Structure 1
Amino acid sequence: MFIVKKTTDLLIEKNAALATGYEKGWANVGAVRNQGIEITLDATPILTKKWNWTLNANIGFNRSKVLDIGPGDEMGFDPGVIPGSGNFVMIRKNKSLGQWYGYKIDGVYASQHEINEQGLTEVLGQKIASIRPGDYRFRDQNGDGKITSADLVLLGSGEPDFTGGLTNTVSYKNLSLSVAMQFSYGATVFNANLHSLTSGRDGHNQIAEMNTNSWSPTLYDADGNVFFAGNNEAKYRMPGGVALNYCTSKMLEDGSFLRIGDITLAYALGKKVAKKVGMQNIKLFASVKNLCVFTKYTGFDPEVNTRQGQTGDLMPSLDYSAYPRNRSYSVGFNFIF
């Protein structure tokens, strides 16, 4: 099935002219086109008197494209999750929705030699003399020797490359087992929780990995012998330093996943047994929902969007203190009268 949908006169909150006396105002501007294809497969690989196996699968590909955003070719939004960060969700003409723009980080400076070798004079308003080993190494995208807003680049998109599901139901005589799975591939999740949880600053809770994977220097005794090896290959910067109130590649994660969503085991007692109690059939079942998720995402759940409504459509896959999905178990009976 091929799908094409065009939406016009989108209701978006924009900055208002100062002469109005208001900071923001709502306007009907722009147009977005969504197009894609969905493929569905229903099959019965095994069908005998005792055995039955049915398979239901689907996969969908969807691409959004901004056709018009009114005056200008781009519009920025601040999700409100990093104080003072400004707009880092961008809507650009002829591009898809949900694009995250920020600074690319290439690891952590291991030594003063690495700082000098990069040849920067300024990093986000700080003179290079203030940068120390253990600070993040930002990529100079335009090669001007400074890290400024000119080095902002596309870090990822909240839209997946494809999504889908697979349900297998296998039965033997009166016993059946059904397993439903869903998957998504290619979305980039903005894990805003990491801004605070990996900041290395006082007054902020930190993830446990900060204790083992933060940069620390190698220390020597008076005789020149190493008595503390340090961690020069760390994932995170040395605790302390200035607040990094910016969107960086450290906060963007692969949101691909495979979820085992629903498993149900059922047993039908049969019509003979059911007729004895005045029914057509009785089925006993036990099920579990949201059993597990296979993913590289470090948050609770990669299938997340904590901004709902209009803003949620513009910035999908934003995780900011999202409550995890619950896992539920149930047992019961189905009575057919």
Structure 2
Amino acid sequence: SYLPLYSSNTYYGLNEQLVPGVVPTQLANPNVKWETTVSRNLGLDLSFFKNRVQFTTDIYYNSTKDLLLQNPIPQTSGYTQQTQNIAATSNRGIEFQLSGLIVQTKDFSYSASYNMSFNRNRVEKLNDGITSKGYASGWDSNTGNDYLVEVGKPLGQMYGYRSDGYYKVSDFNFNATTGVYTLKPDVASFFGVTRSTIQPGTMKLLDLGGSIKNPDGSPAIHTDEDRTVIGNAAPKFIGGLNQQFSYKNWDMSIFVNFSVGNDIYNANKIELTNSRLRGVNLLESVNGRFTTIDQNGKSIYNNPAKLEEYNANATTWRPYENSNLFTDWAVEDGSFLRINNITLGYTLPTDLAKKIKLSSLRFYATVNNLATITGYSGFDPEVNTRTNGGLTPGVDYSAYPRSRTILLGINLTF
């Protein structure tokens, strides 16, 4: 294993010609050492009914120290970060598997194997004196540090704002002379977060802190005080079920896997409900957006009563332009049940196979990724596109859908 310190690029050389070159990407650290993991586990294997039923369980606790992470360094060095051994984590859990030959007759048999695992990880240490540190998934530069690594907490904490719908007409005082909407004194503004103009239909955030005020004394949403943990990519438990059937010369196997309790950071929802990008199709959900244009294409912005009436059934805010804010609206439950694989086969009777000079002949058809049951609105709940060294899991940004494959095959034995 190695960490690259250089990258290739092209630069202008003599006579304004592009020439290839190699440049350092980060400051070398002569004190870097190997990460160390200590694994501990206790296992138990049991069998019953003359080995027709088997049960296996494993309890484990793993601890890792000297984890390599990027750490800020003085910019006088010419760099902003350096790879250092600054963290420690732990990982504990239990896994079990139950297998059995459930039915066996002359012509029919049915066996199954079920497994499940519960895993919990925790950050044990960051560099000296630091109890939490933000990391950016990097899908968009405007989101900033959208994950929080915190001592005593699990990895994968999603860090952002809590959505409170959108600003209603009733949140404002309207000046008919100037045509300006001004927030009422008791309504919090997040202008300091995005520099976007606050008006009816603008996304609204919850004021969690409450202590930050605008110059006029009104409440304000603040970047540091009003962000909180809004999700976690780690599932509560995962598992799978593998079933095998046979009837005379026919055989079938079905494999199903599942995950429960993992959150997904759906960055596609943020980007594709945003009017900042031009020439890009938006999600269907924006059809229910708050609007200042009536069905005849006329502006109703300066008519508060009509604006409120027209948007009485609006389900979401107006697409905004200035920032891809990360809120809990973009965090979805990624739990799923997937029929991962089904195979159906037929084996030719032995006497018929021998007539064509074969010991055995089997035909089969396999379907992979047959169906997925999930409440997630994206293409695939098993997605992980921006990990940042494992610190920002569960991001879905421009991921390709999982393909479904159909295979037909023949097994020949001479």
Using the size of structure 2 for normalisation, the TM-score is: 0.74
Does the Cα contact within 8 Å between 1:77 and 1:90 map onto a contact in 2? yes
Does the Cα contact within 8 Å between 2:110 and 2:245 map onto a contact in 1? yes
Match of 1:146 among 209, 216, 220: 220
Where do residues 212-223 of structure 1 align in structure 2 (5 Å cutoff)?
212-216=287-291
Q: State the shift of 1:114 in Å.
A: 7.3
Q: State the shift of 1:206 in Å.
A: 3.6
For 1:234, the equivalent position in structure 2 comes to 314
Match of 1:84, SS? helix
Match of 2:278 among 194, 203, 226: 203
For 2:349, the equivalent position in structure 1 comes to 270
Q: State the shift of 1:229 in Å.
A: 6.5
Q: State the shift of 1:32 in Å.
A: 0.8
Where do residues 183-198 of structure 1 align in structure 2 (5 Å cutoff)?
183-198=258-273
Q: Distance in 2 between matches of 1:42 and 1:258?
A: 20
The one-letter code of the counterpart of 1:293 is: T
Provide the identity percentage.
Answer: 34
Q: Deviations over 1:114-169 (max 9, x none)?
A: 79578235314179994222111211112332111201011000111111111122
Q: 1:281 to 1:202 in 2, by over 3 A?
A: closer
1:293 aligns to 2:293 (yes or no): no
Where do residues 52-91 of structure 1 align in structure 2 (5 Å cutoff)?
52-71=109-128, 72-91=130-149
Using the size of structure 1 for normalisation, the TM-score is: 0.90
For 2:14, the equivalent position in structure 1 comes to none
Q: 1:126 to 1:154 in 2, by over 3 A?
A: closer
For 2:203, the equivalent position in structure 1 comes to 136
Match of 2:142, SS? coil
Q: State the shift of 1:315 in Å.
A: 1.4
Q: State the shift of 1:236 in Å.
A: 2.5
Q: State the shift of 1:276 in Å.
A: 2.4
Q: Distance in 1 between matches of 2:325 and 2:278?
A: 19
Q: Distance in 1 between matches of 2:195 and 2:170?
A: 11
Match of 2:231, SS? strand
The one-letter code of the counterpart of 1:105 is: S
Does the Cα contact within 8 Å between 2:168 and 2:308 map onto a contact in 1? no
CA root-mean-square deviation: 2.8
For 2:397, the equivalent position in structure 1 comes to 320
Q: Deviations over 1:58-91 (max 9, x none)?
A: 1111110001111211121111112232212111
Q: Distance in 1 between matches of 2:199 and 2:191?
A: 14
Match of 2:141, SS? coil
Q: Distance in 2 between matches of 1:237 and 1:44?
A: 56
Q: Deviations over 1:151-188 (max 9, x none)?
A: 10110001111111111222211112211111001111
For 1:37, the equivalent position in structure 2 comes to 94
Q: Deviations over 1:44-65 (max 9, x none)?
A: 2211111111111111111100
For 1:19, the equivalent position in structure 2 comes to 76
What stretches of structure 2 of length at least 5 have no aligned partner?
Answer: 1-57, 174-182, 212-218
What stretches of structure 1 of length at least 5 have no aligned partner?
Answer: none
Q: Distance in 2 between matches of 1:283 and 1:129?
A: 66
Q: State the shift of 1:235 in Å.
A: 3.5
